[in-house]
Each structure stands twice: as structure tokens, then as C-alpha cells.
Structure 1
Amino acid sequence: MTDYKSPIIVIGHKNPDTDSICSAIAYANLKSKISEEHYEARRAGHLNEETQYVLEKSGVKHPRYIKDVRTQVKDIEIRETPGVSRNISLKDAWTLMKNDNVVTLPITIGRNIEGLITIGDIAKSYMEEYDSRILSAAHTKYKNIVATLEGTLIVGNEETYFTEGKVLIAATTPDMMENYIEPNDLVILGDRYESQFCAIEMKAGCIIVCEGSTVSITIKKLAEQKKCMIITTPHDTFSVARLINQSMPINYFMKRDNLTTFHTEDFTDEIQQVMAKKRYRDFPILDANGNYVGMISRRNLLGSNRKKLILVDHNEKNQSVDGIEEAEILEIIDHHRLGTIETIAPVFFRNQPLGCTATIIYQMYKENDVEIDKTTAMLLCSAIISDTLMYRSPTCTAVDKQAADDLAKIAEIDVETYASEIFKAGSNLSSKTEKEIFFQDFKQFSFNDIILGVGQINSMNSNELLEIKERLIPYINTMIENNNLNMVFFMLTDIMTESSEVIYAGNHAKELIESAFSVKCVGMSAQLKGVVSRKKQLIPTIMESLQQ
């Protein structure tokens, strides 16, 4: 059996920021060093320019994108049933099925699936009444006939095929045989010299001599002259007549059209519906390139493995990768408020009131006495700089600042200079569409039956923020109906002035902002001085106002 066991996935939220990505990469690296399991950082969304800049600067590849973490075929044990040639005999196919305890054999050419044959197809071939020309109609190879009858080829070439004529038993006198033997026929007979001679003279294509009888030199020479093959077998005439149809190649009986195949990337809940409508027990699995991998059955679905995840920088279901409810969550590492993630079993949960998830990851490296290399240090330091707006955010703590300073020394970077580069890369928004800007850092939050969408961008250029505001105000209204949200807020945060302008849409959004922050809204926006943190300032204040 082949187990396409996926690594344990370390992943952030759907609209990943620098903290989400860098923390996932660093934590996957840590977990791989302190355990025997394999961990892989993945991303649930598009990387913004700031994060792309950080990864490029650090020399780290982008984590692979994963849209949905539902169970896939590759998460199941796939049975490595070897593919067989279309030319093997029914008997050989039966033997393989019995030895491997399978009911379906895949017929392949190289790594390409050509067809399938089931134990039912073989049984049907034994039970159906076929005419005496079925063996030649199936283009049966003489090698198959020899092997099936446990015989020996005396005259002829076993690599040739029986393609014309019928199969018959010479049970009468030579005079009678002359009336029904035709050219190219395959004749089953005994040790009688006269019958053998007659069959060859009548231009039979092959004679099968039963019960291990000796064939005379004269008959051999005559057969060679007349181009008639001779096979001897230890079986009696009745057994040969019963066995010979088992020498037919499986390609004559195999199913080759409209095959139901699945791919390793297919989701099990979707293929289960297809399986239920088919009468077959086993189905071929192909890889991404269409190459045959193995077989699965309905029973395999019962033992499918959920994907194993570690969530970083979030614990809200609506921020998580699609299919999260079908995955097995092992750990959650976060610095936000407690959200709506539910787990089947107890998990390791670490949530600290810090400015950045990367600070927690830094602590865990220290706690496990694992050395932080220069690349990892740059990733973690970048995340802290980004999430705390270079220590300006009220979420930033002394622990965050100390961690960033320590990491900067390892990474050999100047924090202020590097921070300026990061924010400059992230604030290059003029070439982006309204949708790209809006979802660059967008999260959903639930409060009772109310679903809020909150986006944020940070910039060091106030003129750029003003231009973006004018573009987003017409766009923000479309977010309500297209995303089933009650209210939407978007923070345009000026890093230099340490303030934000928030634009909004939705019923009561204006009243909520005015009452929550004691400000006056003008033209679908409000100025919030000193408010730069979505997590610690905007969301808690809005939630408190909603509660009241």
C-alpha cells in the first residue's frame, strides 16, 4: 500500500500578512527540528507586496498555496496494484487477483491506464457460451496457450498469434475428420498418428497433443513443412477443452471506454458521490500528470486521514482556509482575541497578549533551545516590525521590541532602515485594483449574529492614502452584498502620524463608528487619531459598542 501522507500544514489566515506568513515558515522549521514529523508552511491567500519583499530579502521561497484543506484522495492509503499488459491471459489475470487478494486489475501501457478487468469479467468469460472461433477472434497468442495448458511447443513460434480458424476436438476417425477440419483450425487430439497426420494434411494451423504423448519425427517434419504448430500438454482432452479459453488475452474482455478514474488531488466527499453511482468496487487513481498511481475502493474512504493543521496568527473560522471543519487542528498559536474555531479534540493552544505572533514563535525557539539562523531571524524580525508598525502600534509590548532587537542582531539589519524599506514596498498601491487593495489585509469577525468585515492598509505617504480613499469609497458598498456581511470597515493607517481614517458601509455602520469613537463621520469616513491597530483598538471598541 502507498500512503500519500501529507505533511502537517502550518498555515495563517486567508488574507495573509507578513506576520502570518513569516510565523508559519519559522514555526514549521522549529517543529521539524524538535519532532520526527514533517511540517510544511503553506499560505491560504495571495501574498501582498510587503510580504513578497520580505521573502525575497530573506531568500525564502513563497509557501505553496492551498485553497481547501478537505480530505483528498492523496490522504488515503492507495493500493499499489501493479498495472498489467493487455496481452496476459485470463488465467494469469485470475492468478494475480487471487495472489494479491484483489478483484480488479488495471491494464496499463507504461504509466498510462488503458483499461480494467474485474473478477466478474473473468467469471463471465467462463460462463458465457462462445462459438468455436472465439480464441482466434480474441487474437490469442500461442505463448498464452502453451502456458495455460502447461504445455511444450514442439514446432512453431510461440510469439505468433492464433487469428484465424476454430478450435475443435478430433474425436473421430481420420475419414470423418476430413469433413470438418478447415485451414488454420486448432485441433485438440490424442496420440493417434493417423489423426495427427490427417489434421496436418488438412492444413490445420496448430495441433495440441494431449496426455504428454510423444510426437514422432515424421509428424514433426510434416508439421514444419506444412507450417503447422505442435503443442504437447500433460492434460487430457477434456481438461484441455475446458482450459483453453483461459488463454485468451484480457484485452478482449477488459473495459476500456468511459473509465471512471480519480486524481490524487480530488476531494473525497466529491468522489464518494460518484462511487455511489457506479457498480465497480475499485477505481484507478492518477497523479497530476495523468499517470497511473494505484487503486482505491469505497472501503478506503472509511480509513481516510484528515489533513493535520497548525494555525498561526488567527483563531477565527471565517478567517481560516476553506474546509477547516474537515481538518484535524493540532495547535493554534495566536495573539488575537479568542474566536470561533472549534476542534474535535483538545489542542495545544498558545495565545499571548503580544503585538505579533512572531514574538511567540521567537519565545518557543528559545524555550526549546533551538538556534535561530540568520534567515529565520530576518523573517521573525520582519513580522514584528510589520505587525507593530515599527513599535508604534499600541499592541506593541516591551517583549515584542526586545525580541525584534535580538533578532535584528542575528539578521545583521538596522531596524529603522529595514522598516522603511518594508513599509515602502507595502505601500506601493497605485498600480493595484480596488479589490486587490481591499483584500490585501482583510478579516471577518463575528459577534452574535452580526458579521463584520475589516480591512486595513498602512502607508507612510498621506497623499497616497487620500487617493486610495477616493477609489475605495465607491467600491466598499459592493462588499456588503457580495460577501454576506452586515457591515464593512476599512482602515487607512498613516504610519507617520500614527492615526487612521476609517471608511465604512452597511446599515448602522455610521452610527456605530460615531458612538464607539465619539467622532463625527463626514462623507462615509471618520478620522481616528491615535488608532492604528485593528486588533487592539478598532475591533474591541466596535464590539463593546455593539454589546451596549
Structure 2
Amino acid sequence: MDKVYIFGHKKPDTDSVTAAIALSYLKNKLGKNTEPRILGNINNETKFALNYFNISVPKYLNDVKLQIKDINYPKDVFIRSDATILESYHFMTKSGVSTIPVIDNEKYYLGSISMKDIARDLISGDYHILNTSYLNIIKTLNGEKILKFDENINGNLLIASYKSTTFIENVTIDHDTIIIVGDRHSIIEYAANSGAKLIILTGNANIKGEHIKIAKKNNVNIIRTKLSSLDVSKKINFCNFVSNIMNTTSVTTVNESEEVNDFIELANRTKFSNYPVIGKNNKCMGIIRLADIADKNKKKVILVDHNEPTQSVDGIEEAEILEIVDHHKLGLIGTSMPINFRNMPVGSTNSIIFLLYKENNIEIPYDIAGIMMSGIISDTLLFKSPTTTELDKEIVNKLADITRVDYEKYAMKMFEAGFSLEGRSLDDLLYADFKDFTIENKKIGIGQVSTLNIGDFKKKSNDLINLIEKVASDNNYYLVTLFVTDVKSNGSYIYYNNSAEDLVKNSFDIDSITQGHYFDGIVSRKKQIIPRIMDTLEKK
């Protein structure tokens, strides 16, 4: 069963992280194979909630782009280096490929062999050299073992084509000689006495017992075959190890972890037919062709707490979205097939997930109940946000009953942990909960951060404004704004790039504004900030 990744948006907040964990637990209880992931560093508030209920931080998910390993390319299409050239030829013919990787006994990639390499060796190779194994010769020549002393046979080929007396008088045989001979007993005896490396008897030739004794004494290997001397001379070089002629330099390989788009670019540039695929530790997995990319297994994902492609993981357009659970407005993410899309106007994604537990009759354990409660408290600002519904309040009370936690006291501790400015950089403050939107073809960035001590925050305001100006300029934003929400007073202070001042004034229907302006009662980006900005831009 393929693994399904469940994750929230790129700027993880407590609701998105806990929703991913809670939904993953539910799906796994229902027999699915899922894993919660995060798309960025979690904030201090989320860390507090996970630590409090003893939940591990999910692993980071960099992207869901298609990789070579997601393609159904031919696996195990390779040949061992100690196979014969003839075996490689038959393997390629059977597999319908013109190139195959060569591996060692541990599947480590060594090189490649192609039909061109075989043809080149037949035409211009060194016919006199044989470097193979005793067994390979038996297999290739359909031979019979007479005497065997060596596993590997390495030497110089010689065919007994002369008259016996001429051969014996003029040809020297030594321990590196591999002689091909028929039923010419004087030459067989000469070869045995000379300690030849191997005698290949053709035409199913008989060998005298006395000659076998001599061969045994001198450690001479002997193989007999029914093939004629002509047939043996034609096939003998096919006995050679593949490693003798494999290509180790001009071969382009691809790694299983490489992105498919990069492979397409490589294939269009190099124009090779086949590419060896290398996996972990340089081990060969098979080969891939450009045509193989049509048969792919997209990474399977479930989105929580978002449905905008700009807020999601890199490569989301290359993934298969199975389901979305969200409480925001509908975004621009599209799918090629119908999916489960649970969208409700509630204060937190965890409220929807709570209903999914009830619908599936799955009991919510203590730790999952705790983080779900944390997500709802965080996203509703303990019910002060206008996005809060009676359902959110009802669910928090039920989750508090499971955990036996005083949720109001717990909320204050969680907020204190999350709102502390100690050790936090300006970038962290701006991007902690920052979302991109495209409205009327204009790029908008809206950040929001909450605090219990606005005084500490105002000390950083000048540096923060400079950062906002730089981010807007460097990244072509029409508007970059940060809303600093004061939980105690139930309102927000705004900081923005100066060029967007008119947009801010018109959106909130005020005549004048300065950096750090306070909006009483404005605490929800989803319900009170984004709709105003959208309306203003759409009226232009």
C-alpha cells in the first residue's frame, strides 16, 4: 500500500500541524498507510503543545515532485560482470533494450554494455585473448567437463589447424595457452605435456586415458563439446566476461532520487536510448527510457488547513491529491479526479477532524485529543476570533473532558510559550504565519503574529518596517503586511510597505494611517483582513 503524506501549509501553525497528526492517526486506524509531515519549522506555541502531550514533531517534507523512483521503469534489468558476452546479447534481445548496466555480486554499478559494444568487439576486438570462467565456456559451447583445476580461465587462444608434425615442431604451448583441437591425439598429448591452460576438444572427440593422466599431472583443464572446430572458433569469444568489453566512461546514469523533469531535460540533450538507474549506495536498480515516464506513481497526499497551491508543498501539481480538509475559502488547487473535500465554516481544521472521528466511530486517545484541543484554541484565539463557532466551543469542551485539562489555564500557558519574542529574529516574526495570495493578478503577502506583550513588539517596529519594505521590493509584492494581534485587548496592530498605504486605508475604510495603527476587534486574517483587501482590489 502506497504511503500517503498528510500536511498543512508552508508556514506551519498549531492548527495545521496538529490537524495533520490527528488526521493521520484516524486514517491509520481505518487501515490506511499515512504519515504526517510538516513543510517548515514549527513555532514555539506548537512545540509547547506537542511537548505537553508527548507527541513527536513530524518529519519535514521538502517536496512531492515526481522522481525517477516514482516511475515504473524496468527493474532488475542488468547483468553481472562475470556473465558472458553471449548471455548479455540474449538478455538484451529478450528485454528489448540495446544497453544494459553491468553490476558486481553486490549489485554495485560498474559500467554498461550495448549491442554496439558487442559488434565493435566482434569486428575489431582481440580474438586471441580469452578471459572468462570454466563454467562460462561449458555453458556457451554446451560442453562437458573432463578435467577442471581452475575456476577462471585466462589465456591466449590457439587453434590446431596445422599438420600435427608441423604444429608440434613450430608452435609453442605454455601455461597461458588455450587450445582448440579435434581428435588429433598427438597434439592433445603435446598440449597435456606442455601444461596448457585449457584443452577444448571439438566434435565430441575422444581422449585417451593416458593423455588424461598426463593432463591431471600438469593441472591441465579439459572441456569437450559436440560443436565443430569452426563453430567453437566462432563462439569462443562470446565466452568472455562482459566486464572485458563493458563501457565505463561514456555512459550517463541517473539517480533514483533525481526529479523526472531533470531527467527529461537530460534525455533530450544526450539522446541516449537507455539510462542506468542508480539507487542508494551506488547500487543499480535497472534502466529507464524517456518513454517510461508515462507510467508513473504520483506521490499521494492529503492537505489539511489549506487549499491554495502557493501555500502548499513544492511540486503539489505533480502529486495525486486524495483529500482536502480545510476551513478556509476555496483556493486554486485543481485535481484530475474527484476527491473528498471537507470544507466547513468553523474556527479550526481540528473541529472538522473531530467530526470525522465521530462519523467513523473511532475513539480519540488522550494525546490526540490534547493536540486537537490545542489547534482549536490557537486558531480561535481561545474563542475571541470572529471565526469561532459554537461548534468549536462544544468540541473543545469535549476534548478537555478526554484530557482532563483546564483548557483556559492551558491556553494561557500555550500562548505565553508561543508569544515570547525572546530569541526570535525579525524574519521569524514576519514569516511565522505568513501566507501568499494572488488577487487580481497582484501578489499579496499577509503575516500574522500574536502577543501578550505589545510593548516588547513595538521596540522592534522600525527594523520590522525596513524588513517589510525589503521583502516587498525584492519579491515584487504589491502588498506585504504584518498584523500583530494583541490577545489581551482583542485587536491588531498593522505594519505594511509604504507603497501600499492607499490599499490599506481603502480596505479598512479609514482616512489616514501610520505604521503600527491599531484596529480594535480585528483578529482574523481569514474573516476580517483578506476579504477587505480582496473587495478593494476587485473594485479597482
User: Is the CA contact (8 Å cut-off) linking 1:94 and 1:119 kept in structure 2?
Assistant: yes
What is the TM-score with the length of structure 1 in the denominator? 0.91
Opposite residue 285 of structure 1, the aligned amino acid is: V
2:516 maps to what in 1?
A: 525
Q: How does 1:238-387 map to 2 (within 5 A)?
A: 238-257=230-249, 259-387=251-379
User: Is the CA contact (8 Å cut-off) linking 1:153 and 1:230 kept in structure 2?
Assistant: yes
How far residue 83 of structure 1 moved from its aligned partner, in angstroms, is 5.3
Task: State the Cα RMSD in Å.
Answer: 2.4
User: Is the CA contact (8 Å cut-off) linking 1:493 and 1:532 kept in structure 2?
Assistant: yes
User: Is the CA contact (8 Å cut-off) linking 2:101 and 2:276 kept in structure 1?
Assistant: no
User: Is the CA contact (8 Å cut-off) linking 2:370 and 2:403 kept in structure 1?
Assistant: yes
How far residue 197 of structure 1 moved from its aligned partner, in angstroms, is 2.3
2:443 aligned with 1:451: yes
Measure the CA separation in 2 of the matches of 1:355 and 1:94.
Answer: 66
Change (3 A) 1:160 1:304: closer
SS in 1 for 2:170: coil
How far residue 282 of structure 1 moved from its aligned partner, in angstroms, is 3.2
Measure the CA separation in 2 of the matches of 1:320 and 1:40.
Answer: 16
Post-superposition CA distance 1:83-127 (Å, at most 9, x none): 5432222233344445666552431342421222234433443x3
Opposite residue 79 of structure 1, the aligned amino acid is: P
Opposite residue 199 of structure 2, the aligned amino acid is: I
Measure the CA separation in 2 of the matches of 1:407 and 1:82.
Answer: 54
1:215 maps to what in 2?
A: 207
Measure the CA separation in 1 of the matches of 2:172 and 2:27.
Answer: 78
Change (3 A) 1:231 1:170: farther
Opposite residue 497 of structure 2, the aligned amino acid is: A
Measure the CA separation in 2 of the matches of 1:49 and 1:123.
Answer: 66
Structure 1's unaligned 5+ residue stretches are none
Larger mean CA deviation between 73-82 and 427-436 belongs to: 73-82
User: Is the CA contact (8 Å cut-off) linking 2:102 and 2:243 kept in structure 1?
Assistant: no
User: Is the CA contact (8 Å cut-off) linking 1:74 and 1:265 kept in structure 2?
Assistant: yes
**Pairing partner for 1:168 from 146, 152, 159:** 159
Measure the CA separation in 2 of the matches of 1:347 and 1:206.
Answer: 69
SS in 2 for 1:219: helix
Change (3 A) 1:167 1:436: farther
Measure the CA separation in 2 of the matches of 1:428 and 1:236.
Answer: 90
What is the TM-score with the length of structure 2 in the denominator? 0.92
2:64 aligned with 1:73: no
Measure the CA separation in 2 of the matches of 1:69 and 1:155.
Answer: 59
Measure the CA separation in 2 of the matches of 1:172 and 1:50.
Answer: 96
Opposite residue 114 of structure 2, the aligned amino acid is: T
Opposite residue 220 of structure 2, the aligned amino acid is: C
Post-superposition CA distance 1:45-71 (Å, at most 9, x none): 221121122222222222222232221
Measure the CA separation in 2 of the matches of 1:317 and 1:131.
Answer: 61
1:26 maps to what in 2?
A: 22
2:393 maps to what in 1?
A: 401
How far residue 202 of structure 1 moved from its aligned partner, in angstroms, is 5.4
1:108 maps to what in 2?
A: 104
Measure the CA separation in 2 of the matches of 1:69 and 1:230.
Answer: 59
Measure the CA separation in 2 of the matches of 1:142 and 1:356.
Answer: 73
User: Is the CA contact (8 Å cut-off) linking 1:8 and 1:309 kept in structure 2?
Assistant: yes
How far residue 20 of structure 1 moved from its aligned partner, in angstroms, is 1.0
Measure the CA separation in 2 of the matches of 1:132 and 1:286.
Answer: 33
How far residue 288 of structure 1 moved from its aligned partner, in angstroms, is 4.5
**Pairing partner for 1:185 from 159, 163, 177:** 177
2:192 aligned with 1:205: no
SS in 2 for 1:346: coil
Corresponding residue pairs, total: 537
How far residue 227 of structure 1 moved from its aligned partner, in angstroms, is 4.4
**Pairing partner for 2:46 from 43, 51, 65:** 51
User: Is the CA contact (8 Å cut-off) linking 1:510 and 1:524 kept in structure 2?
Assistant: no
Larger mean CA deviation between 350-359 and 278-287 belongs to: 278-287
2:95 aligned with 1:92: no
Post-superposition CA distance 1:256-279 (Å, at most 9, x none): 235433233221111122123345
Measure the CA separation in 2 of the matches of 1:398 and 1:268.
Answer: 48
Larger mean CA deviation between 294-303 and 74-83 belongs to: 74-83
Q: How does 1:454-473 map to 2 (within 5 A)?
A: 454-473=446-465
Measure the CA separation in 2 of the matches of 1:43 and 1:422.
Answer: 20
User: Is the CA contact (8 Å cut-off) linking 1:178 and 1:198 kept in structure 2?
Assistant: no
1:537 maps to what in 2?
A: 528
Measure the CA separation in 2 of the matches of 1:448 and 1:288.
Answer: 46
2:54 aligned with 1:63: no
Opposite residue 23 of structure 1, the aligned amino acid is: A
Measure the CA separation in 2 of the matches of 1:101 and 1:542.
Answer: 60
2:140 maps to what in 1?
A: 148
User: Is the CA contact (8 Å cut-off) linking 1:170 and 1:177 kept in structure 2?
Assistant: no
SS in 1 for 2:190: helix
User: Is the CA contact (8 Å cut-off) linking 2:77 and 2:287 kept in structure 1?
Assistant: no
Measure the CA separation in 2 of the matches of 1:169 and 1:57.
Answer: 87
Post-superposition CA distance 1:183-211 (Å, at most 9, x none): 33222111122222234455543321112
Opposite residue 440 of structure 1, the aligned amino acid is: A
1:515 maps to what in 2?
A: 506
User: Is the CA contact (8 Å cut-off) linking 1:18 and 1:383 kept in structure 2?
Assistant: yes
How far residue 459 of structure 1 moved from its aligned partner, in angstroms, is 1.2
Larger mean CA deviation between 533-542 and 97-106 belongs to: 97-106
Change (3 A) 1:113 1:198: same
Measure the CA separation in 2 of the matches of 1:534 and 1:414.
Answer: 28
Measure the CA separation in 1 of the matches of 2:407 and 2:138.
Answer: 81
User: Is the CA contact (8 Å cut-off) linking 1:203 and 1:228 kept in structure 2?
Assistant: yes
Measure the CA separation in 1 of the matches of 2:148 and 2:317.
Answer: 66
User: Is the CA contact (8 Å cut-off) linking 1:335 and 1:351 kept in structure 2?
Assistant: yes
Post-superposition CA distance 1:113-169 (Å, at most 9, x none): 1222234433443x324344232xxx3333322332222333341314323x33323
**Pairing partner for 1:390 from 382, 386, 399:** 382
Measure the CA separation in 1 of the matches of 2:125 and 2:386.
Answer: 86
Change (3 A) 1:176 1:265: closer
Structure 2's unaligned 5+ residue stretches are none
Larger mean CA deviation between 167-176 and 68-77 belongs to: 167-176
Change (3 A) 1:47 1:521: farther
User: Is the CA contact (8 Å cut-off) linking 1:516 and 1:541 kept in structure 2?
Assistant: yes
Larger mean CA deviation between 43-52 and 244-253 belongs to: 43-52
**Pairing partner for 2:220 from 219, 224, 228:** 228
